[in-house]
Amino acid sequence: MTGISITALRYYDREKILVPEIRNEDNGYRYYSVKQLEKAQTIRDLKAIDLSLEEIKDIIERKSQRHLEELLYGKIQGLEQEIDILERKLLSAQHAYRKMIRGKTYMDADSSPAVEQYYPVDVAPIKEMWVLYTRYPSNVNAKSLFSDRCLELQKIRSKYNLYPVGSYIGIFHDGYKSQFHSERGDLELCLPVIKPDGFWCKEMRRFGGMLAASTVSIGSYQNMEKVYRYLEKWIEENGYRIIGPPHEYYLMDISNTFSEEQYMTKIHFPVEKIK
């Protein structure tokens, strides 16, 4: 009637958790009364939510409704936290999978764009998201990677036990030309993360929500200047105006491949339509 196995019933008997009302001393048979059925079902239900036998025994011995409510409420909170962590891990895994698929889609094309050919320009809002960020003058030269800045963000992410849901984003507040003609510049680096309810830290802010024109650059960062100029020209010729610093989304970078030729960077310019 309860689904509790004979082995479990014997164990519950030995541990004084569920003692049969009648025991036949001649053959060892255990007999349980109807009134013990509710107790057996309670034990089964508590065991199903991973309460230990020690906790179950304590509940039965105390016979305190308040204690049971407090214990169950604590268990619910713990399970909700576990679900929240698993959901964040799932989103991170989905992001990593989409990132790899995007890279494969571009790289498995029949042929890469010729020198003077570019990927189509897209104009769409950048979705709003929570990001961890750092902003200060540092190396921005396209000949060298700013991996130290990425490592800094990863340490901050680990400190707060947050889960990433997007690629690194570089914002060049001095303009895109700084990375091709200067060694240092005003660089903001962002990492999209899942923000738990009620959490806040000084390295976190909202990002996105603006209209942007974007295209994709494949290959070494040193070769992106011509893609920037192409995107800038397209914006001007199609009735838009640049209203903010450029953003670079590192869809495929050194964390995915050791070949610079396989780097994939999405370039965004915040824009508005000229009336």
What is the pLDDT confidence band of residue 114, given thresholds at 50, 70 and 90?
very low
Residue range 100-123: average pLDDT? 61
Per-residue pLDDT for 60 more than 80? no
Helix 53-62 to helix 65-107 angle (10° resolution) is: 150
Residue range 76-93: average pLDDT? 74
Per-residue pLDDT for 103 more than 60? no
H-assigned helices in the chain: 6-14, 35-48, 53-62, 65-107, 147-160, 178-181, 225-237
Q: What are phi and psi of 146, to 5 degrees?
A: -95, 55
The pLDDT assigned to 95 comes to: 66
Pick from 271, 128, 137, 149: nearest CA to 205: 128
The pLDDT assigned to 115 comes to: 42
Residue listed under structure tokens 């104009």: 123
pTM of the predicted model as reported, rounded to 2 decimal places:
0.63
Q: Are 207 and 128 in contact (CB under 8 A)?
A: yes
* DSSP assigned state of 47: H
Residue range 142-156: average pLDDT? 87
Amino acid of residue 178: S
**Considering only 69-73, 110-114, 233-237, 244-248, which range has the smallest mean pLDDT?**
110-114
Mean pLDDT of the chain: 84
What is the pLDDT confidence band of residue 94, given thresholds at 50, 70 and 90?
low
**Residue 90 to residues 82, 87, 101, 169: CA-CA distances in angstroms?**
12, 5, 16, 21
Q: 3-class secondary structure for 132-189? A: EEEEEEEECCCCCCCHHHHHHHHHHHHHHCCCECCCCEEEECCCCCHHHHCCEEEEEE
Token pair for 147: 């991996």
Residue listed under structure tokens 């984003």: 169
- What is the C-alpha radius of gyration for the chain, rounded to an integer number of angstroms? 30
Domains along the sequence of the chain with CATH: 6-63 (1.10.1660.10), 117-273 (3.20.80.10)
The pLDDT assigned to 112 comes to: 46
Per-residue pLDDT for 82 more than 80? no
The pLDDT assigned to 88 comes to: 73
What is the per-residue pLDDT across 167-211, written as a single tens digit (0 to 9) for each?
A: 899 999 999 999 999 999 999 999 999 998 899 999 999 999 999
Pick from 216, 223, 149: nearest CA to 187: 149
As to burial, measured by CB atoms within 10 angstroms (0-12 exposed, 13-18 middle, 19+ buried), residue 218 is buried
Angular region, 188: left φ>0, alpha ψ -120 to 50, beta rest: beta
The pLDDT assigned to 174 comes to: 94
What is the per-residue pLDDT across 27-58, written as a single tens digit (0 to 9) for each?
A: 888 888 888 887 888 888 787 777 788 888 88
Per-residue pLDDT for 113 more than 60? no
The pLDDT assigned to 66 comes to: 82
Buried b (16+ CB within 10 A) or exposed e, 131-155: bbbbeeebbbbbeeebeebbebbee
Q: Are 210 and 245 in contact (CB under 8 A)?
A: no
